[in-house]
Amino acid sequence: MAKFILRRFFLLLITMFLVSVAVFMITEASPGNVAKNVLGAFITPEQERSFLAQMGLDQPSYVRYFYWLFGSDWLAARKVGLPLTRTVTDDGFVEWWAVRPDGALVRWKLEGDNLIAVSKLPSVGITSEYNNDNRWKAGAGTTQTVWGVDTANHVVRWQKGSDVKVWSFVIGTGWMESTGGPMEYIPLKKGFIRGDPGISLRTGRPVSKTIFTRLRNSIVLAGIAFVLVMPLALLLGLIAGLREGSLQDRVLSIGGMMFSVIPEFATGIFLILIMAVWLQWVPGATVFGEQAPWERPDMLILPVLTLTLIELGYILRITRASMVEVMKSPYIRTAFLKGLPYWRIVFKHAVRNALMAPITVIMLHVNWLMGGIVIVEVVFGYPGLGKYLLDSAMFKDINALEAGAMILVLLAVGTQLVADIIYTFLNPRIRYT
């Protein structure tokens, strides 16, 4: 068993790697322009270039994938010549700083042709600014360049002394002529395998901050639906399957089929129209505040009900079919002939075998419930993972998309593993070596 789980674990890693490469390549190849998605359709080519450079999107795709996986800070630290560190301010903003040998944190900004260092002593909380022009190093021709951390979490190569003259406005001083500016950007990140999926291009927030909230919301929604549906569907399926052709079987099968063939967007809209607009019993959309999703449980009712109706019929019919088949099999007939009591035949002999098929389906559906409930989320405006991934895909927001894909792979492989383990309990003949 241990060997089996270990093997599955390696399989998981390989799957994650392949999926991440595939998502990267598909996003790369799909049409769309991130700069225009974020900044609007009316940006100038210069704005677009500057945006792409600051986001690090001007790099070739293999470099970006590499940075996404392993991070860029260690490479950037070598350019700056000082170790870099990531801090979180009291207001929750992530900041990158270089660490001076004396322990003070330092960042730089350019004012005209002068390099100004902003340093902070984390222990005392004092910040100070000083001229740091001695960091300039001779570059090509008459130019001088310097690598440093800027105030927007990039490592930047500044240049001065080039032929390009720019006017820039310095707070407190006025307009200053300078002969250069930022030439190259490396956005700082730790990389996925070190637990940092990066910054969302769409929202500018760290993906990890948003995605776990979204995942939690989806888990709450799907979890409630799952807990409601599965026992109910299994029970009703068994009841229907035990007495094939009876009235209750017909009612359950036809009713179940009816709801599972109506697509969830239609069910959702009908429920909104009836329960929220007409009867006004429950809210027809989810509007969450600070304590989401607990502060308004009534908002969960319709999404959960929609999911329940869709799932119920499906699982019910599979359980029923499986039960019918098992009840017809020779060993059940033998059990009857042996004179065993009816309830014993059903629970001891039939149910365990009849559950094999539904368990497989249920486990596959866990994954579907996490990512695939996007339609229900969109209909109800529910801030879940599926909607987040949909929006990210529309925006070509690669960091968010990769992180979401990884979570889904983890779930898919994980639930499959759980299903495999459950099989061994249901049918002891199944062994994994």
Q: Is 33 in the site for another protein (CB under 8 A)?
A: yes
Site for another protein in 363-402 (CB under 8 A): 377-383, 387-388, 391, 394
Among 83, 112, 283, 414, binds another protein (CB under 8 A): 283
Of 9-17, 44-52, 132-140, 335-343, the window that binds another protein (rule: CB under 8 A) is 44-52
Q: Which is nearer to another protein, 176 or 364 (by Cβ)?
A: 176
Q: Which is nearer to another protein, 72 or 210 (by Cβ)?
A: 210
Of 188-196, 223-231, 237-245, 270-278, the window that binds another protein (rule: CB under 8 A) is 270-278
Of 195-203, 329-337, 355-363, 421-429, the window that binds another protein (rule: CB under 8 A) is 195-203
Residue 335 and residue 349 in contact, taking contact as beta carbons nearer than 8 Å: yes
Among 87, 127, 168, 246, binds another protein (CB under 8 A): 168
Spell out the SS3 assignment of the chain: CHHHHHHHHHHHHHHHHHHHHHHHHHHHHCCCCHHHHHHCCCCCHHHHHHHHHHHCCCCCHHHHHHHHHHCCHHHHHHHHCCCEEEEECCCCCEEEEEECCCCCEEEEEEECCEEEEEEEECCCCEEEEEECHHHCEECCCCCEEEEEECCCCEEEEEEECCCCCEEEEECCCEEEEECCEEEEEEECCCCHHHCCCCECCCCCCEHHHHHHHHHHHHHHHHHHHHHHHHHHHHHHHHHHHHCCCCHHHHHHHHHHHHHHHCCHHHHHHHHHHHHHHHCCCCCCCCCCCCCCCCCCHHHHHHHHHHHHHHHHHHHHHHHHHHHHHHHHCHHHHHHHHHCCCHHHHHHHHHHHHHCHHHHHHHHHHHHHHHHCCHHHHHHHCCCCHHHHHHHHHHHCCHHHHHHHHHHHHHHHHHHHHHHHHHHHHHCCCCCCC
Q: Is 212 in the site for another protein (CB under 8 A)?
A: no
Give least dist CB 57 to another protein, A: 15
Among 2, 10, 46, 90, binds another protein (CB under 8 A): 46
Among 10, 62, 130, 167, binds another protein (CB under 8 A): 167
Backbone angles phi, psi at 71, to 5 degrees: 90, 165
Q: Which is nearer to another protein, 6 or 273 (by Cβ)?
A: 273
Q: How many residues bind another protein (CB under 8 A)?
A: 57
In sequence order, which residues have a C-beta less than 8 Å from that of residue 320 and are 6 or more positions away? 237, 238, 240, 241, 249, 252, 253
Among 3, 10, 42, 431, binds another protein (CB under 8 A): 42
Give least dist CB 210 to another protein, A: 7
Among 27, 72, 218, 286, binds another protein (CB under 8 A): 286
Q: Which is nearer to another protein, 44 or 433 (by Cβ)?
A: 44
Site for another protein in 309-348 (CB under 8 A): none
Q: Is 166 in the site for another protein (CB under 8 A)?
A: yes
Binding mask 292-311 for another protein (x = CB under 8 A): -------x------------
Among 171, 247, 279, 337, binds another protein (CB under 8 A): 171
Among 3, 29, 40, 165, binds another protein (CB under 8 A): 40
Q: Is 112 in the site for another protein (CB under 8 A)?
A: no
List residues near another protein by CB under 8 A: 31-33, 36-44, 46-47, 50, 91, 93, 151-152, 166-169, 171, 175, 181, 200, 202-205, 210, 213, 269, 272, 276-277, 280, 283-289, 299, 377-383, 387-388, 391, 394
